Amino acid sequence: MQQSPRGCGNLTSNTLKAVLTAVFLTALGACSSQVTVNAPTIPDPLVEKIPISVAVKFPDEFEHFVHQENVIGKEKWTIDLGRSNTLLFTKLFEAMFDEFTVVDDSVDPRDLPIDAWIEPSIDAFEFSVPSQSQTPSFAVWIRYRIKIFDSEGNQFANWPISAYGKSLSTAMGGDNALRRAAVLAMRDAAALIIMQMDRATGISSLNRETLSSIAASPEPAMPEPALPEGAPEESQTTAAEDTTDETG
């Protein structure tokens, strides 16, 4: 019996369908996701400014922070925070301090007429996806570290903060949920910094006018003149590297 060309065509077509299906399923099993966080919405904070002038040096990682992770047996996630950390901290510190400038690596902050300078950094970035947590949520943890130096360049405080954001996955896929979780974690960090920075580090005590008036005072010098009344002991403990508590 002679096989008709039409029958042969059907066979080829079926084989092609099967191959395409197999390729599609394989691709699904080994897919990767790339999430880019553009400038997050950080509103103008309702906060009283701290009356000092500060400069901030952003590390390179703040300009283009990228985190990659393979979820075992599942997929590869790439989270690109881009410049969002720089934008976040710039907005934050502008709102928090009377005077604020961003300096680059070529500038020695000790040459500037400032009360303090700040060096934020990212210690760690972690996330979890629903397949890991067995919940319908994406979660992001960001551990920042804020180092504060006085106008002479001496380290005054070293404050680690942990921020957390969580977002339910949606029918539109995990990318949006993970992006939202990252933005919520950044907002969480901002809230924490606004609420606790001065209390935890005592940065307001670095005001040079206050310091000089204390120095010129005929009263006996206090053992810790840099700390105002009510300043927490954390500013001392945070100055000690890696022995701090977790306030976040």
Partner 1 sequence: MKRVKPMSDQIDRLGKLLLVILPCIVVSACTTARVEDVRVTATGILDGEGVVIMARSYHLGNETEDKFIKCVGAALARGASALRVVPNSEFVDALFPWFEPRTAPSDTKGLPDLMARPGVAETIARKGVRYVIWLDGDTERVAGGGSLSCAAGPGGGGCFGFAWWTKDSKYDAAVWDLTALQSAGTVSTDVSGTSYLPAIVIPIPLIARTRAKACKGLADQLKSFIVTDEFA
User: Least distance from C-beta 214 to partner 1, angstroms?
Assistant: 27
Q: For residues 110 and 187, which CB has a smaller minimum distance to partner 1 in the complex?
A: 187
Q: For residues 188 and 234, which CB has a smaller minimum distance to partner 1 in the complex?
A: 188
Stretch that binds partner 1, among 35-43, 79-87, 105-113, 117-125 (CB under 8 A): 35-43
Which position has the token pair 């130096």?
Answer: 149
Q: For residues 137 and 236, which CB has a smaller minimum distance to partner 1 in the complex?
A: 137
Q: Applying CB under 8 A, does 194 fall inside the site for partner 1?
A: yes
How many residues bind partner 1, per CB under 8 A?
23
Query: Can you name the residues that pair with 150 across neighbouring β-strands?
Result: 116
Q: How far apart are CA 64 and CA 83, in angstroms?
A: 6
Stretch that binds partner 1, among 46-54, 74-82, 122-130, 213-221 (CB under 8 A): 46-54
Q: Applying CB under 8 A, does 166 fall inside the site for partner 1?
A: yes
Which position has the token pair 């570290």?
Answer: 145
Q: Which residue among 22, 66, 168, 240 contacts partner 1 (CB under 8 A)? A: 168
Q: Is 245 exposed, middle or buried (0-12, 13-18, 19+ CB in 10 A)?
A: exposed
User: Least distance from C-beta 219 to partner 1, angstroms?
Assistant: 31
For 112-134, b/e burial (b = at least 16 CB within 10 A) is: eebbbbbbbbbeebebbbeeeee
In the stretch 174-193, what mask flags binding to partner 1 with x, by CB under 8 A?
----------x--xx-xxx-
Q: For residues 66 and 195, which CB has a smaller minimum distance to partner 1 in the complex?
A: 195
Q: For residues 25 and 240, which CB has a smaller minimum distance to partner 1 in the complex?
A: 25
Q: How far apart are CA 233 and CA 186, in angstroms?
A: 26
Q: Which residue among 41, 106, 134, 243 contacts partner 1 (CB under 8 A)? A: 41
Q: For residues 10 and 155, which CB has a smaller minimum distance to partner 1 in the complex?
A: 10
Q: Which residues bind partner 1 (CB under 8 A)?
A: 14, 17, 41-48, 135, 137, 164, 166, 168, 184, 187-188, 190-192, 194-195
